[in-house]
Amino acid sequence: MRATVMHAAGDVRIEDIPDPSIVEPTDAVLRVTRACICGSDLWPYASMEPSETGQSMGHEAIGVVEAVGSDVSAVHPGDLVVMPFAFSDGTCAFCHEGLSTACVHVGFFGNAGVNGAQAEALRVPYADGTLFKLPVGEDDDELMPSLLTLSDVMGTGHHAAVVAGVTPGKAAAVVGDGAVGLCGVIAAKRLGAEQIIIMGRHEDRIALAREFGATDVVSDRGAEAVERVRELTGGYGAHSVLECVGLEQSELTAIEIARPGGAVGRVGVPQEEKMPASQPAFYNNVTVGGGPAPVRAYIDELLPDILDGRIEPGKVFDRTVGLDGVPDGYRAMAVRESIKVMVRP
């Protein structure tokens, strides 16, 4: 079958690899009907050292279960399912606490003997704990983009909002106008934020942020951005800040625009070993939390809003490609020509 393999920064190829099969009794094999390219895929696309074996790519998918191992009981061949970006057993203490990304058996697609989801198919470990059966048909083209966001970006934006303590009637700010930031706007509105400030400078993304509920836009950077957010929030900053980038500058901005006593929810993968502004965060009693979103645990809460059309996170997809179009999809996202690319293998 065909799958996406990255060999070095800027070098993404579609290659023939062995078909997946059941290895463990808890496995399922998934035929991928929708996948996508993630903003986090752009980090290796910008910096990966050349590799002979390459890195199998993709961690977001909707697909049809083709086969299951003997211990799988929650999903069956023929089921349409959403696949969260991490697999988890569904039974450990962390899964029970709703932190599936800390599962004692957690793993990430494209690693540990499992190929990535930008492919025709893949093996899914711990299928019972990982996969979530969808109550729609494979042919529901209208709902499919929004349902696909449950595998990562909508759950991740929601996690940022939850960790940032978004509260009805208060101010939220979203640092980053990528797909996760835009889903963060949806999440902040859904949780009742009265004011939602999007920090970004790309016209198409800002327009979508406004459609999703952003009330203010700040396109400055650095000290000017901080000043502008303070002006917009009565001088004190936002109660909740969603950090959806992961660079030192964006983390610094996130901490500096937080109101004293406020919280920053980080979901942008941090690119530096240390966090800036430890002292300002301390003196303002700003809490910094977040991490890999337990999107599996959030599906129950978010799915009804997608099915009923109350939220439409699928609008972050502005381009659809087949597998052959994946390499160009990476390029388009890297140069900000596209917000997020959907893949129909």
Q: Would you state the structure tokens that stand for residue 216, as one six-digit string?
A: 């203010």
**Interface with a second copy (CB under 8 A):** 93-94, 97, 99, 101-102, 163, 236, 251, 260-261, 263, 266, 269-270, 272-279, 281-292, 294
Please identify, using beta-carbon distances, which residue of 272 and 324 lies nearer to a second copy. Answer: 272
∠ CA 334-335-339, rounded to 5°:
70
Tell me the residue ranges of DSSP E strands in 111-248.
121-124, 132-133, 171-175, 195-199, 216-218, 238-243
Closest distance of CB 252 from a second copy, Å: 10
State the burial class of residue 171 (Cβ atoms within 10 Å of its Cβ: 0-12, 13-18, 19+). buried
Nearer to a second copy, 204 or 301 (CB): 301
Using the minimum distance from each CB to a second copy, give the nearer residue, 167 or 320.
167
Q: What is the DSSP letter of 292?
A: S
Q: Are 174 and 232 in contact (CB under 8 A)?
A: no
- Parallel, antiparallel, or unpaired for β 61-68 and 55-56? unpaired
Token pair, residue 170, equals 């208060």
| CB closer to a second copy, 84 vs 345 | 84
The residue to which tokens 């700010």 are assigned: 173
For a second copy, the closer of residues 192 and 282 by Cβ is: 282
Gap between the Cα atoms of 339 and 333, Å rounded: 6
| 238 vs 218: CA distance, rounded Å | 13
3-state secondary structure of 164: coil
Nearer to a second copy, 194 or 312 (CB): 194
Q: Which is nearer to a second copy, 209 or 267 (CB)?
A: 267
Nearest to 171 by CA among 145, 199, 137: 199
Q: How far is the CB of 250 from a second copy (least distance, A)?
A: 13
For residue 11, the SS3 value is strand
User: Which is nearer to a second copy, 29 or 281 (by Cβ)?
Assistant: 281
Smallest separation, CB 294 to a second copy (Å) = 8
Q: Does residue 277 contact residue 222 with C-beta atoms inside 8 Å?
A: no
Residue with Cβ nearer a second copy (193 or 297): 297
State how far the Cα of 119 lies from the Cα of 322, in Å rounded to an integer: 10
How many Cβ atoms are within 10 Å of 104's Cβ, its own excluded? 11
DSSP β-bridge partners for residue 238: 258
